[in-house]
Chains A and B, each alone.
Chain A
């Protein structure tokens, strides 16, 4: 047993399996989160029927998708039609393999990790445009073309913004980037006297465009293109597209937090005095608060079964909070906690943007991409390079 644990391939293998197993589940609950948050912003309840407070809604949706008829249009390019979602999912999942969840928990650490994520998100475009083309439908084709143009345009700004972070870190390895932030004792978002906030914002905006989300969701603009590139997809193939879209969100979010928000590090990673309050206090507040909230909600459930269910959920959360108070558990798991907390903050921002902004027009999108983002990113590289050199 000990031998097994000590094998160099053990943690990567386990992490890989856990990623593949957990990613669809995480996606399911992100979708639920999105629907609930949007509903809250629009002053409605959102899904309430399946499970207490609708928590099982997306599980039911997934079951429905799996059992739906899989329609392949008769005039489509059959092989490409089947192949395109695979490309999307494969590239999205590959991105996650180089993301470090903590110093020890990761699949692999390659010295060009960041580039591999760029490469994979670049290849991911193919899945979209091939899917759009092979459907042999005008809506799909237009959606695919739009997304290709959009992704290519915003990838430039994205890459330039990444370059600023790489200049600060001096490495392309994802683990190395976090370690550099630990060593410098600062999240790179606040490096160079706060100048790095500019590339951080550029990255954030471009990554919204990269993931085809509102307000840059022109490839799937419902009012014009039905559903864009995946109009003709149904059943589980459509599900794979949606899955990879959300996994892509995880991937770009992970890059954002790794590069600019300190990855698995807690806030103020170098201030030892804050270690106890932050590492123990924040999980307590987060999990304990959630648990208490669930218990409170359980008294307002219409059905007794739901009340028991949600009360049980509350107890589980309280238990997790309690487990986090054990130093032996807290030590190895707190980096993952910080990582997940940051990731969900990013996801929340994405959802918030979707609930707030109307969709851009196509020319506005291109103007923002080429005339605002890229020049700003170039200027940011230039200034950060000078400031960074002057400081060191």
Chain B
């Protein structure tokens, strides 16, 4: 019961944060809304007993990525951007898209109603799943190659970032 309440609270936080992120005017406020959205996701992880993911989500996203976001937003002058019209005036196109999407979703819901019961969880979670031991066993044994390749991916991204940003190498 309590978990359900928390679930809806965190889900609401996530969604409200996401909506505010795209509708707020000031870039700093957008960033703060995004932070609350990410915090909501972290809370959802915690409800799933994925403590490690919870902590990592906070360390990486809120403490790392978002702090750098704010850092850049504060360094860059966004006043001009804030004065710009935030939404284009393509109301008709937007309404058409909305109607189309709504029709599709309605079709999904009606046609697929009987199949919309989510099946039994495919893989029963191991006891203590999400804990660091289980995670590291998976990460450093079965998923070792993707793990290592992720470092290659980061290397490429760093090289690319330096390449694009630096005037003279």
Contacts and interface: CB of A to CB of B under 8 A. Distances in A.
Indicate yes or no for A touching B, C-beta below 8 A.
yes
A366 interface: no
Nearest to B73: A133
Contacts of B59: 115, 118-119, 122
Contacts of A112: 51-52, 54-55, 132
B102 interface: no
Interface string B62-91: 111011101100110000000000000000
Contacts of B66: 126
Specify which of B55, B58, B71, B74 lies most central, judged by the most chain A CB atoms within 10 Å of its CB: B55
B100 to A, nearest CB: 38
B156 to A, nearest CB: 20
A225 interface: no
Contacts of A145: 71, 74-75
B48 interface: no
A172 B63 contact: no
Given A115-B52, A152-B67, A122 B58 contact: yes
B63 A122 contact: yes
**Of A120, A122, A151, most B-chain CB atoms within 10 Å:** A122
A157 interface: no
A111 interface: yes
B29 to A, nearest CB: 8
A110 B32 CA distance: 28
A16 B160 CA distance: 48
B44 interface: no
B131 interface: yes
A144 B70 CA distance: 10
A133 B28 contact: yes
B67 A116 contact: no
Contacts of B64: 122, 152, 155
A212 B52 CA distance: 28
A133 B78 CA distance: 13
A129 B132 contact: no
A119 B74 contact: no
Contacts of B28: 77, 80, 130, 133
Nearest to A114: B55
Interface residues on B, range: 20 to 34
Given A122-B59, A123-B58, A141-B74, A152 B52 contact: no
B56 interface: yes
A120 B57 CA distance: 11
Nearest to B28: A133
Nearest to A142: B74
A379 interface: no
A242 interface: no
B56 A115 contact: yes
Interface of A: 77, 80, 110-112, 115-116, 118-123, 125-126, 129-130, 133, 141, 144-145, 148-149, 151-152, 155, 172
30 contacts: A77-B28, A80-B28, A80-B32, A111-B131, A112-B55, A115-B51, A115-B56, A118-B55, A118-B59, A119-B62, A122-B59, A122-B67, A126-B66, A126-B67, A126-B70, A129-B67, A129-B70, A129-B71, A129-B74, A130-B28, A130-B32, A130-B70, A133-B28, A133-B74, A141-B74, A145-B71, A145-B74, A151-B67, A152-B67, A152-B68
Interface of B: 28, 32, 35, 51-52, 54-56, 58-59, 62-64, 66-68, 70-71, 74-75, 131-132
Given A119-B62, A129-B70, 8 more contacts: A116-B55, A118-B55, A119-B58, A122-B62, A123-B63, A126-B62, A133-B74, A145-B75
